[in-house]
């Protein structure tokens, strides 16, 4: 099969197309002929040598999400059959013509979505559900602040939380991105280049703050996040783009009874990811099928132009997801 490999740590140019053996389908796995693969920031980190894949994942083929058609099923697979259209969360190996995936990490492709749209779902939707609703415990009538509102994670979080009845605030890096986030359902989008988000949150919540914050920024955002949380609020960290070493006023954490937590998804086991898939299918997939949540695709590149996809991802000059078209 054809696959994009990381020839060595470095810039986008180290992504090269190569021939690799077709994966072997284990007893609890399905073999998917990949039609499209999502591109995510962890792929960029892996390409640079900063995010080694977990044990058992492809060491040099990036890609954490795909959509395609099942070509073979393992002997213990009970739900799926050959010919089913699925999208799936992977530990790696998505930039390829075939992927073997545990059956529990697959979800059906909604009839109203293209394979490119379906391929943009798993990594961001699994991440948002796991961190906002499971770890962050966002409850009825509670509010959410999402940093990076125009990113793949951001547009998923806005739509998911809004569709489930929550008031969502976001930060983004331009007025255009802010307006787009508001068109998706954000109550207020804050341009972090021209506004102090903590001051804005304090004003619009009349000093109460928000209940949950989903943060991929880290660094000097952390203390402002703590100021922006309501009593008993939860800060959930999923990245640290501005750095991991921060100062925190613990007296505020204690007086407001705050929870500061975080997670990474890639290294979690099949049972954990399969449980998230079950919750997504119950709570979110009907909203996708009804058109109440829509995948936001910025650009689709052919597989052999994976380097160009990474260049666009790193530029930050995009709203929504980047996808690779693998097969037709």
> Residue 14: pLDDT above 70?
yes
Distances (CA, A) of 87 to 5, 173, 269: 21, 30, 18
Average of per-residue pLDDT values in the chain: 96
Q: Is the confidence at residue 328, as pLDDT, over 70?
A: no
Written as six digits, the tokens of 320 are 């929504």
Q: Domain extents for the chain? A: 2-121+266-325, 125-262
Burial class (CB in 10 A: 0-12, 13-18, 19+), 2: middle
How much is the average pLDDT of 219-229?
95
Give the Cα separation of 320 and 116 in Å (integer). Answer: 13
Same fold, 2-121+266-325 and 125-262: no
**Beta carbons within 8 Å of 177's beta carbon, 6+ residues apart:** 149, 150, 189, 191, 319
Q: Is the pLDDT of residue 55 over 90?
A: no
Rg (CA), the chain: 19
The fold adopted by the segment(s) 2-121+266-325 is Quinone Oxidoreductase; Chain A, domain 1 (3.90.180)
Residues 275/298, Cβ–Cβ less than 8 Å: no
Which of the residue ranges 145-149, 179-183, 219-223, 278-282 would you say has the lowest mean pLDDT?
Answer: 219-223
Beta bridge partners of 100: 31
Residue 22 has a CB neighbour count (10 Å cut-off) of 16
pLDDT over 90 at 327, yes or no: no
Between CA 146 and CA 29, with CA 37 as vertex, the angle to 5 degrees is 105
- What does the pLDDT look like over 88-99, one tens digit per residue? 999 999 999 999
* CATH fourth-level superfamily of 125-262: NAD(P)-binding Rossmann-like Domain (3.40.50.720)
């Amino acid at each position: 099969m054809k696959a994009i490999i990381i020839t060595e740590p470095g810039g986008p140019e180290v992504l090269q197309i190569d021939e690799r053996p077709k994966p072997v389908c284990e007893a609890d796995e399905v073999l998917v002929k990949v039609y499209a693969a999502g591109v995510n920031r962890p792929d960029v980190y892996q390409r640079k040598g900063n995010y080694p894949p977990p044990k058992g994942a492809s060491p040099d083929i990036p890609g954490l999400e795909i959509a395609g058609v099942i070509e073979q099923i393992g002997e213990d697979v009970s739900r799926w059959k050959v010919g089913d259209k699925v999208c799936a969360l992977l530990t790696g190996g998505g930039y390829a013509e075939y992927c073997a995936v545990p059956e529990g990490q697959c979800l059906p492709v909604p009839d109203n979505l293209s394979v490119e749209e379906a391929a943009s779902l798993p990594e961001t939707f699994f991440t948002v559900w796991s961190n906002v609703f499971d770890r962050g415990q966002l409850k009825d009538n509670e509010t959410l602040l999402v940093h990076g509102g125009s990113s793949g994670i951001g547009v998923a979080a806005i739509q998911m939380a809004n569709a489930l009845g929550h008031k969502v605030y976001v930060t983004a890096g331009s007025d255009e991105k802010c307006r787009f986030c508001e068109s998706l359902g954000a109550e207020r989008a804050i341009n972090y280049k021209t506004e102090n988000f903590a001051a804005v949150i304090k004003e619009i919540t009349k000093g109460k703050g928000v209940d949950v914050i989903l943060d991929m920024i880290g660094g000097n955002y952390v203390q402002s996040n703590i100021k922006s949380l309501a009593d008993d609020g939860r800060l959930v960290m999923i990245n640290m783009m501005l750095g991991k070493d921060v100062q925190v006023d613990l007296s505020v954490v204690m007086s407001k009874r705050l929870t500061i937590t975080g997670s990474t998804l890639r290294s979690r086991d099949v049972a954990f990811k399969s449980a998230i898939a079950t919750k997504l299918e119950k709570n979110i997939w009907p909203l996708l099928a009804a058109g109440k949540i829509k995948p936001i695709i910025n650009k689709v590149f052919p597989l052999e132009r994976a380097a160009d996809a990474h260049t666009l991802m790193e530029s930050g000059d995009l709203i929504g997801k980047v996808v690779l078209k693998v097969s037709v």
